[in-house]
């Protein structure tokens, strides 16, 4: 028997061996969705395969308003605080140890109401960026995963009225929902309005990406922002009319992508690994996360009383089946070659591995 035949035989044996399960390739794997609720002060999680089972990971937050995942695998949460004993802050939740810790406390007078989080690309520094409800620049948090945390202003060249949504591209371009809330006496509540703007990798203003009232019913109070996987489309939620818009970043044309159907039902936005979108309610009434297909059709909802006013949604995607297949084939090849080496050692004292 040739060495090639032995290798083929070894690989065939491994495919049928209990060491490797074919279900890793063919099974549908679910995503974990993390939710922070500003009204219930909780960090929650559910699996999209069993969404009715919602776990409370922490009840020790103080008006959490945004969530992002760091390169260290931990969850970073923006909190408004309570205006008394707890100042605005950024906290860290470790999913492995289930421990919650404060990363840094923000200045209550000048850095209040942190409302959006994103990370700069690692190759450009990897700092944590913080947007806020209220006027002022985007904040940059350096050393967020070390013992030396520093907070500084990041953006310049444009006076922001607010920064309720942040999204950063691979080249460092930062997109911001420049949203202001102004009280309207005739209707008795605050009305959100403003454009979506952008900054370069140095934090300097570039220009307007989408204006208030952009096309098809109007971008009215941009809130959550999400870049598509290709980086060519910027999704934005419109809080005043419950719609979701899509901006083509090549042409800067903005069109309505889909709608939740009601005002204040579109806030935080995230994307599942299958490409569908999740949009969270900020009304505090429906306790709902809406799911939309990649074509904009509403495909379902996730509801739980603990969702309340949803401050942020984060999806922890699973590996693609193709990636699992490559890993499995790598395991098959490695173990197969080891068996070939063992056979050759017994018969000729040689090895085909370097």
Question: What is the mean pLDDT of the segment spanning 165-175?
Answer: 98
CATH code (residue 213): 2.120.10.30
Question: Quick check: 3 pLDDT over 70?
Answer: no
| Rounded Cα distance, 24 and 15, in Å | 12
Q: What is the pLDDT of residue 318?
A: 61
Let me know whether 201 and 301 are in one domain. Answer: yes
Let me know whether 140 and 223 are in one domain. Answer: yes
Task: Judge whether 352 lies within some domain.
Answer: no
Write down the residue that tokens 């470790």 correspond to.
94
Q: What is the per-residue pLDDT across 298-354, written as a single tens digit (0 to 9) for each?
A: 999 999 999 999 999 999 976 544 444 433 444 434 434 444 444 444 544 443 333
Q: What is the per-residue pLDDT across 202-257, written as a single tens digit (0 to 9) for each?
A: 999 999 999 988 655 789 999 999 999 889 999 999 999 999 999 999 999 999 99
- How many beta carbons lie within 10 A of that of residue 202, not counting itself? 12
Q: How many helices (H) and strands (E) does the chain have?
A: 3, 26
Stated as kind and residue range, the H or E segment containing 115 is: strand 114-119
| Rounded Cα distance, 10 and 4, in Å | 10
| Rounded Cα distance, 42 and 191, in Å | 27
Question: Quick check: 92 pLDDT over 50?
Answer: yes
Task: Judge whether 353 lies within some domain.
Answer: no
55, burial (CB in 10 Å: exposed 0-12, middle 13-18, buried 19+): exposed
Q: How many domains does the chain have?
A: 2
Let me know whether 81 and 18 are in one domain. Answer: no
Mean pLDDT for all residues in the chain: 85
Let me know whether 77 and 108 are in one domain. Answer: yes
Task: Judge whether 231 lies within some domain.
Answer: yes
Let me know whether 126 and 217 are in one domain. Answer: yes
Q: What is the per-residue pLDDT across 247-260, written as a single tens digit (0 to 9) for each?
A: 999 999 999 999 99
Residue range(s) defining the domain that contains residue 115: 35-315
Let me know whether 79 and 133 are in one domain. Answer: yes
Let me know whether 243 and 333 are in one domain. Answer: no
């Amino acid at each position: 028997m040739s060495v090639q035949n032995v290798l083929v035989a070894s690989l065939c044996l491994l495919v049928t061996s209990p060491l490797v399960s074919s279900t890793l390739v063919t099974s549908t794997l679910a995503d974990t969705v993390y939710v922070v609720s500003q009204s219930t002060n909780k960090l929650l999680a559910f699996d999209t395969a069993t969404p009715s089972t919602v776990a409370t990971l922490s009840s020790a937050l103080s008006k959490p308003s945004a969530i992002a995942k760091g390169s260290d695998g931990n969850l970073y949460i923006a909190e408004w605080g309570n205006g008394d004993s707890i100042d605005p802050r950024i906290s860290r939740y470790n999913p492995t140890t289930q421990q919650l810790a404060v990363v840094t406390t923000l200045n209550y007078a000048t850095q209040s109401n942190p409302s959006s989080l994103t990370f700069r690309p690692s190759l450009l520094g990897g700092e944590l960026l913080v947007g806020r409800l209220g006027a002022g620049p985007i904040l940059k948090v350096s050393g967020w995963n070390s013992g030396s945390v520093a907070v500084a202003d990041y953006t310049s060249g444009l006076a922001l009225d607010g920064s309720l949504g942040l999204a950063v591209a691979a080249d460092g371009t930062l997109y911001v929902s420049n949203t202001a809330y102004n009280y309207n006496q005739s209707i008795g509540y605050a009305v959100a309005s403003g454009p979506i703007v952008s900054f370069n990798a140095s934090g300097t203003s570039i220009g307007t990406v989408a204006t208030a009232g952009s096309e098809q019913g109007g971008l009215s109070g941009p809130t959550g922002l999400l870049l598509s996987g290709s980086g060519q489309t910027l999704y934005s939620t419109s809080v005043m009319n419950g719609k979701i818009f899509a901006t083509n970043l090549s042409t800067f044309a903005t069109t309505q992508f889909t709608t939740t159907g009601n005002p204040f039902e579109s806030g935080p936005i995230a994307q599942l690994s299958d490409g569908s979108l999740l949009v969270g309610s900020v009304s505090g009434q429906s306790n709902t996360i809406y799911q939309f297909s990649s074509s904009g059709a509403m495909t379902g909802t996730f509801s739980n009383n603990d969702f309340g006013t949803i401050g942020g949604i984060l999806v922890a995607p699973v590996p693609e089946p193709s990636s699992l297949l490559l890993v499995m084939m790598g395991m098959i090849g490695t173990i197969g070659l080891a068996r070939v080496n063992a056979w050759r050692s017994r018969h000729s004292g040689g090895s085909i591995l370097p």
